[in-house]
Amino acid sequence: MTALTDLTIAEARAGLAAGDFTATELTEAHLAAMEARAGLNAYITPTAERALAMAKTSDARIHAGQAGTMEGIPIAMKDLFCTNGVRTTAGSTILGTFVPPYESTVSAKLWDAGAVLLGKANQDEFAMGSSNETSAFGNAVNPWTRAGDPDTTLVPGGSSGGSAAAVAGRIAMAATGTDTGGSIRQPASFCGIVGLKPTYGRCSRWGIVAFASSLDQAGPMARTVTDTAIMMGAMAGHDPQDSTSAPVAVPDFAAAVEQGVKGLKVGIPKEYRPEQGLSPEIDAIWAQGMAMLRDAGAETVDISLPHTKYALPTYYIIAPAEASSNLARYDGVRYGLRVLEEGDSLNDMYCKTRAAGFGAEVKRRILIGTYALSAGYYDAYYLKAQKVRTLIAQDFKAAFDGGVDVILTPTTPSAAFPIGAEIDDPVTMYLNDVFTVPTSLAGLPGLSVPVALTSEGLPQGLQLIGRPFDEETVLRAGRALEKAAGFTAKPRLLEG
């Protein structure tokens, strides 16, 4: 029999419904695995007691025939989601002891659907990073290692690195992530799992610690496209408490998954090509993906997204600008860390608290953002970036208006890299997001699906981009890739 921790959500739901095992057993198996693989450092705050209590409630609901769509499914919750009574750190010292008295909308929806909280997942500090190395709680570890090089520890990607490591390492059946410029898709690609950044406005941001408000979106991370779709259904929905949440109906994502891609037009943007610096290996995997979709009945067409090259610099103006303002509330006055010595002024308290509470990358982005918004620079940076953002969104719109149903690109320009390899070079680190950032700026749904192993034996994902609020087509295409790729490789950590 397959280990309980290896089951997909779909399989686990069937097993729970059939009485093959209980939610408590399923949770216990995961808690045991969490202890066994504590070295992944995937969790900042494990919540074993709460998990068992929630699993018990799920068993009762299953018994009573009241099971929700995620009933009894043990998941990891990124530590950016505020959880009532459970410490929520955002990966930062400044919130190191913060326990919210409220529950984020998305996590509340998941609990309503029956999901079980295994713990709060590690992440880059305030979701700023692409390797999980900016976490104040140490980096999460990628369960994958290079073939023949088991001793070199690799990053899980970021910022939702703990979530990806937990799902790939079979210490969560699925996890929530948040994606601002690629924080779901890039770690999903690095860890060989599926990750969906929904359309901006699909999930409520209420109760999620803000990084860049106009870009932040919550989304599911799981091991299959179907699991991703199931979880997406539980997370999505309009929330009147979030003015940017869209009042649109939530479709049956899971039902859309198996609809196939026959007749779909798949756009292949030339700006992501090797001529623009893409490695031949990733290009080859991309070509495999195109072939898989064509074999499944889709048509691939060349498209152009001419402003792609401006996306990264545009993102690194807008996101830090918003962050510099969003993070002003961490001032030591009302909650979180306060550093104050006898005789200190208010300004002393601000400086000392924020100096001690924020890490280097967060400080760097606050400085960049503050600069970009300052008088005399606003027009040249922030305003210009907003205009370019509009052009980037128009690129996508033109492609979709031209009849393309979905766009296929690599998720990342490379596979997972060793811990420490890029952390001292922010620009190289930022390049990790080069393929995911345009989608974020345009607010479109983007899905990463693992399709192959690189020559180093590491997973590589491809990204599918859809029209606004058309996650269904993205998931359909993702499922076609998944089927064709038959990606069954497991991290060597698990092969023992």
Partner 1 sequence: MDATPETSYRLRGETGDWEVVIGLEVHAQVISTAKLFSGASTTFGAAPNSQVSLVDAAMPGMLPVINRACVEQAVRTGLGLRAHINTTSVFARKNYFYADLPQGYQISQYEQPIVGEGSLVLDMPDGASRTVGIERLHLEQDAGKSLHDQHPSRSFIDLNRSGVALMEIVSKPDMRSPEEAGAYLRKLRSILRYLGTCDGNMEEGSMRADVNVSVRKVGEPGLRTRCEVKNVNSVRFVMQAIEVEAMRHIEIWESGAEVEQETRLFDPARGETRSMRSKEEAHDYRYFPDPDLLPLTFDDAFVDRIRATLPELPDDKKARFIADYGLTPYDASVLVVDRKEADFFEAVAKGRDGKAAANWVISTLFGTLNKRGVGIEDSPVSAENLGKLIDLIADDTISGRIAKEVYEIMVETGGAPDAIVEERGLKQVTDTGAIEAAIDQVMAANPDKVEQVKGGKEKLLGWFTGQVMKATQGKANPGMVNELLKKKILG
259 touching partner 1, by CB under 8 A: no
Quote the tokens at residue 108.
Answer: 């509340």
Quote the tokens at residue 94.
Answer: 């400044």
Task: Give least dist CB 211 to partner 1, A.
Answer: 11
User: Can you tell me which of 34, 108, 209, 317 binds partner 1, judged by CB under 8 A?
Assistant: 209
Cβ closest to partner 1, residue 363 vs residue 483: 363
Angle at which helix 48-63 crosses helix 9-18, to 10 degrees, equals 50
378 touching partner 1, by CB under 8 A: yes
367 touching partner 1, by CB under 8 A: no
Closest to 81 measured CA to CA, from 215, 175, 199? 175
Is residue 463 helix, strand or coil?
strand
Q: Are 163 and 187 in contact (CB under 8 A)?
A: yes
102 touching partner 1, by CB under 8 A: yes
212 touching partner 1, by CB under 8 A: yes
Is residue 480 helix, strand or coil?
helix
Q: Residues 391-403, buried b or exposed e (16+ Cβ, 10 A)?
A: ebbebbeebbeee
Cβ closest to partner 1, residue 84 vs residue 153: 84
C-alpha distances out from residue 345 to 170, 332, 351, 352, 356, Å: 49, 12, 10, 11, 16
394 touching partner 1, by CB under 8 A: no
Angle at which helix 105-112 crosses helix 225-235, to 10 degrees, equals 110
Q: Are 29 and 53 in contact (CB under 8 A)?
A: no
445 touching partner 1, by CB under 8 A: no
Q: Residues 56-91, buried b or exposed e (16+ Cβ, 10 A)?
A: bbbbebbeeeebbbbbbbbbbbbbbbbbeebbbbbb
Residue span binding partner 1 (CB under 8 A) among the ranges 230-238, 268-276, 371-379, 419-427 = 371-379
193 touching partner 1, by CB under 8 A: no
Q: What residue type is assigned to position 280 of the chain?
A: P
User: Can you tell me which of 14, 255, 328, 380 binds partner 1, judged by CB under 8 A?
Assistant: 328
User: Can you tell me which of 84, 214, 279, 304 binds partner 1, judged by CB under 8 A?
Assistant: 214
Cβ closest to partner 1, residue 6 vs residue 242: 242
334 touching partner 1, by CB under 8 A: yes
Task: Give least dist CB 30 to partner 1, A.
Answer: 26
Q: How far apart are CA 464 and CA 396, in angstroms?
A: 13
84 touching partner 1, by CB under 8 A: no
User: Can you tell me which of 33, 44, 82, 175 binds partner 1, judged by CB under 8 A?
Assistant: 82
322 touching partner 1, by CB under 8 A: yes
Number of residues that bind partner 1 (CB under 8 A): 44
Q: Transcribe 224-238 into DSSP letters.
A: SHHHHHHHHHHH---
350 touching partner 1, by CB under 8 A: yes
Active-site amino acid positions: 78, 159, 183
Residue span binding partner 1 (CB under 8 A) among the ranges 12-20, 37-45, 241-249, 290-298 = 241-249
Closest to 210 measured CA to CA, from 325, 46, 65? 325
Residue span binding partner 1 (CB under 8 A) among the ranges 115-123, 132-140, 323-331, 404-412 = 323-331
Closest to 143 measured CA to CA, from 36, 49, 282? 36
C-alpha distances out from residue 415 to 144, 159, 279, Å: 11, 15, 11
Cβ closest to partner 1, residue 338 vs residue 492: 338
207 touching partner 1, by CB under 8 A: yes
Residue span binding partner 1 (CB under 8 A) among the ranges 23-31, 130-138, 237-245, 307-315 = 237-245
208 touching partner 1, by CB under 8 A: yes
Task: Give least dist CB 367 to partner 1, A.
Answer: 13
Angle at which helix 280-295 crosses helix 471-485, to 10 degrees, equals 100
Residue span binding partner 1 (CB under 8 A) among the ranges 191-199, 211-219, 397-405, 474-482 = 211-219
In the chain, the N- to C-terminal Cα span, in Å, equals: 18
- Contact residues toward partner 1 (CB under 8 A) are 81-82, 88, 90, 95, 98, 100-102, 104, 205-210, 212-214, 240-244, 321-322, 324-325, 327-329, 331, 333-335, 346-347, 350, 370, 373-375, 378, 382
